[in-house]
Structure 1
Amino acid sequence: MVASDTYAEFLREQLSPLGRVTLRRMFGKTGVFCDGVMLGMVTENTLYFRVDDQNRETFKEAEAFPPLNYAKQGETIDLAFWRVPERLFDEPDEFIMWGRAALAAAHRVAAKRPAPKQGKAPRRRKRPS
């Protein structure tokens, strides 16, 4: 389920110290982007931040909840997004610290992806002489 309009606006406001925050529907969920990089996902108005080996310690508290996942061919696939504890919405400084850690992980993930292939330039036809 995607983020409600109210929840999306709330997240844009809360995460605004990080940069330009946008949300986009994808795969029945909502991706949370900052300056074009996906740092989180929302499902059923629950925020999940991106986690990797370098920020896992920051998100230690989030291990109490299952990570965002999906079913594929009868198996559950865990994603690298961990649920943000509700208490952080009452702790704006700590919430932004988690957001920065998630954004840093998102940049590391983006840097590892291969650059998109560039299409060949269209051939020019010779003009008849």
Structure 2
Amino acid sequence: MAYDPAFGEWVQEHFAELGPLTIKRMFGGASIYWDGRIFALLDDGVVWLKADEQNEPALRDAGSRQFSFPTKDGQVMTMAYWSLPESAVDDPDEAVRWARASIDAALRKASAKKPKKPRA
């Protein structure tokens, strides 16, 4: 993964309608947080949106590709992140619609997790 801070600035402007976003470096790339939840990754000039069974079909139909990377043993690992559709790269309104669907996916995932037991 590679992250360019100038790309982070573009993302902040492109997704400004979402309100405050936090971008944190992660494994050479970066993650984008909305209200404390990761909903996207940044890598090599690509916005990768979080997906689940509800928004993944629409991303696939829009021509997005799934995030994948090679492992040390030669396997290919995929993650539940899909590229921002090309049509949204130049259209902030469309990009925000896709991002909101990814935020919803992040919220669904968080609500499905079992609550942590308090430490004694």
CA, structure 1 residues 36+18, in 2 after alignment: closer, same or farther (shift >3 Å)?
A: same
1:63-78 matches, cutoff 5 A: 63=64, 65=65, 67-72=66-71, 73-78=73-78
Question: Aligned residue for 2:57?
Answer: 57
Q: Distance in 2 between matches of 1:107 and 1:114?
A: 13
CA distance in 2, matches of 1:112, 1:70: 27
Which segment is superposed worse, 95-104 or 70-79?
70-79
Residue 110 (structure 1) shift:
1.6
Could you tell me the TM-score, scaled by structure 1's length?
Answer: 0.80
Structure index of larger Rg: 1
Q: Give the Cα–Cα distance (whole angstroms) in 2 for the partners of residues 62 and 40 of structure 1.
A: 17
- After TM superposition, the score normalised by the length of structure 2 is 0.85
Distance 1:16 1:70, change over 3 A: same
**How many residue pairs align between the two structures?**
118
State whether structure 2 residue 90 is matched by structure 1 residue 90. Answer: yes
What is the rounded CA distance, in whole Å, between the counterparts of 2:103 and 2:29 in structure 1? 19
**For 1:8-58, what per-residue CA distance to the aligned partner results, in whole angstroms no more than 9, with x for missing partners?**
011112222223211111122211111111111111121111111111233
- Structure 2 gaps, min length 5: none
Aligned-pair Cα RMSD in Å? 1.8
Q: Is the 8 A contact 1:52 1:80 kept in 2?
A: yes
Cα separation, 2, equivalents of 1:45 and 1:118: 40
- What letter corresponds to residue 46 of structure 1 in structure 2? V
Alignment partner of 1:41 is 2:41: yes
- Percent of paired sites with the same residue: 27
Supply the AA of the counterpart residue of 2:46.
Answer: T
Match of 1:26 in 2: 26
Determine if contact 1:23/1:32 at 8 Å carries over to the other structure.
yes
Where in structure 1 are there 5+ consecutive unaligned residues?
121-129
